[in-house]
Amino acid sequence: MSVGRLVIISNRAPSVDGSADSGGLVVALKDALSKNGGLWIGGAADQVEEPAQTLRFHERPDFDVALFETDPQIYSDYYLGYSNSVLWPAFHGRVDLIDVQSRYASAYREVNKRLARMVAPALRPDDQIWVHDYQLIPLASELKSLGVKNRIGFFLHIPLPDLHTFMAIPDWQDVAAWFGQYDLVGFQTRRDLANMINIFRHALRGELRANGHIGINGREVAIGCFPISIDVEGFRQLAMNGAQSTDPAPLPRLIGVDRLDYSKGLPQRLSGYETFLANHPEYRSKVTLLQIAPPTRDKVQAYRSIRAELEHLSGRINGRFGTVEWTPVQYIHRALPRDELAVLFHYSRVGLVTPLFDGMNLVAKEYVAAQDFADPGVLVLSQFAGAAEEMPEALIVNPHDPHDIAEAIRTALDMPAAERIERHQALYAHLKVHDVAHWSAAFLKRLKKVDDLGLDRVAR
Ligand code: GDG
């Protein structure tokens, strides 16, 4: 079968004029999209009281963008509600934060149904469809119920929890069934893949076949592990160019860069740093921690709470250890330009990436890409970040244990240059090959293979 257009579908579309293309996913998919005249379908940036009933098409020189509009109330219940107050906490193991409201679940189904009705007429028979992330899990099911026969792949950017955590989602069998309607479901890690097999087995009597597919009700779903990455060369260039016109930090610096999200383990990181300063007084006035944590989803209560907690903790550490000349924690609750981040990574002795649970975590990879080969910094990485599967040469920590974080900080600061270089070389060598282009190519190759095999065509 010939390869038609690539059609990407995600909650947010890239800019219609290409002006804000620096983000990972657009860079990753640009080449694949422009090769066969691709189309990216995604939500418009703003919601409107009277949303259009069809997609709004915009031609870019590289690929087309089609926007779908949503009513503000429905969007809020779908996005802040079901997506980010049910699925996000559940998938990140925070079942205590799940906010069950029936209007959230119905808005989620409704938005996916409306989107499918707009997408179906825009498709051509040989298009390859690639749906992204937890906001759109039901989309294949909705498209297929409208008679769409195209192959549909799905990639989950966030972790998939174990069966028992997953079962805390009301109507969890429906969510499992939605996954089961894709032809290929891709995950960040082997951990997530194993959880999917178990969930399919329990919810849908899915059976693992010798070919690695799951048999569900007479059809087959391919599953695979595709760790996402970054534009390694591009990010490295940003760091190198910026470093030429910027001075190094005055004190050895530890850096953390995270959306202000409870999954990122920010309070635990600060506690680890506090323990480090308490246990190692010789480092006081000798290091700083720069934490950049731009706001996100701040209409959701759990996000307001984490902000208050972080402000309290950074104030406490500064009050406890700070002097007139030295501020132990610099905390910035704003987004910085990407090129500035790259230089900050470059000049930081330690990169702290300590999520409690994370699909991948691109900051870990950006930190490594931005280092000076001759004098690299050290990555301290949570065992619960998807990135830990691929980055064993980082100092791997348990983010729940402040002593473990504290000792890793000390080890990183004391590490001789030869060991820093050796660890960095290994991390960078892996990253250079496994960049974001490698990720998208691997997923699309697998989707094409599923297509060529023509699995379950009859069953449909
Ligand atoms: C989801 C999954 C998975 C952060 N602050 C600023 C800024 N950032 C950039 C980082 C990085 C990106 O945002 C964050 O990516 P992460 O991977 O760390 O995390 P999520 O946003 O939670 O992403 C995650 C990812 O999807 C991809 O599949 O890895 O596990 O949760 O690129 O540098 N960028 C700028 N200013 C900031 O202040 N410009």
Concerning whether 438 is annotated as a catalytic residue, the answer is no
Measure 258 CA to ligand 1 centroid, in angstroms: 7
State if residue 228 touches ligand 1 by the CB under 6 angstroms criterion.
Answer: yes
pLDDT at 298: 86
Amino acid present at 76? S
pLDDT at 275: 98
Concerning whether 358 is annotated as a catalytic residue, the answer is yes
State if residue 388 touches ligand 1 by the CB under 6 angstroms criterion.
Answer: no
pLDDT at 22: 53
State if residue 306 touches ligand 1 by the CB under 6 angstroms criterion.
Answer: no
Tell me the pLDDT tens digit for each residue of 416-441: 999 999 999 999 999 999 999 999 99
Please state the ipTM of this predicted complex.
Answer: 0.99
State if residue 294 touches ligand 1 by the CB under 6 angstroms criterion.
Answer: yes
pLDDT at 212: 86
With a cut of 70, list the residues of the chain below it in pLDDT: 1-3, 20-24, 453-460
pLDDT at 3: 62
What is the pTM for the complete model shown? Answer: 0.96
Please give the C-alpha separations between residue 370 and each of 16, 129, 417, in angstroms, as whole numbers. 29, 33, 17
Q: Which of 132, 232, 361 maximizes ligand 1 atoms within 8 Å of its Cβ, making it the mutation to test the pocket?
A: 361
Query: For residue 320, which of 362, 290, 278 has the smallest C-alpha distance?
Result: 278
Q: Go through the domains of the chain in sequence order and give each one's CATH number.
A: 6-229+437-448 (3.40.50.2000), 232-433 (3.40.50.2000)
Query: For residue 199, which of 180, 218, 222 has the smallest C-alpha distance?
Result: 180
Give, using CA atoms, the residue closest to atom 34 of ligand 1: 338
Pick the catalytic residue from 58, 99, 126, 157.
157
Q: What is the DSSP string of 335-361?
A: ---HHHHHHHHHT-SEEEE--SSBS--
Measure 366 CA to ligand 1 centroid, in angstroms: 10
pLDDT at 447: 95
State if residue 192 touches ligand 1 by the CB under 6 angstroms criterion.
Answer: no
Measure 222 CA to ligand 1 centroid, in angstroms: 27
* Eight-class DSSP state of 211: T
For residue 20, count CB atoms less than 10 angstroms from its CB and return exposed for 0-12, middle for 13-18, buried for 19 or more: exposed
pLDDT at 37: 80
Query: Which two structure tokens, joined as six digits, stand for 392?
Result: 């064993």
Q: How far apart are CA 153 and CA 184, in angstroms?
A: 5
State if residue 28 touches ligand 1 by the CB under 6 angstroms criterion.
Answer: no
pLDDT at 29: 83
Measure 24 CA to ligand 1 centroid, in angstroms: 9
pLDDT at 268: 98
Q: How far apart are CA 398 and CA 353, in angstroms?
A: 11
Q: What is the 3-state secondary structure (H, E, C) of 166-186?
A: HCCCCCHHHHHHHHCCCCEEE
State if residue 360 touches ligand 1 by the CB under 6 angstroms criterion.
Answer: yes
Give, using CA atoms, the residue closest to atom 21 of ligand 1: 259
Q: How far apart are CA 111 and CA 298, in angstroms?
A: 22
* Eight-class DSSP state of 86: I
222 DSSP β-pair partners: 184
Provide Rg for the chain, Cα atoms.
23
pLDDT at 459: 40
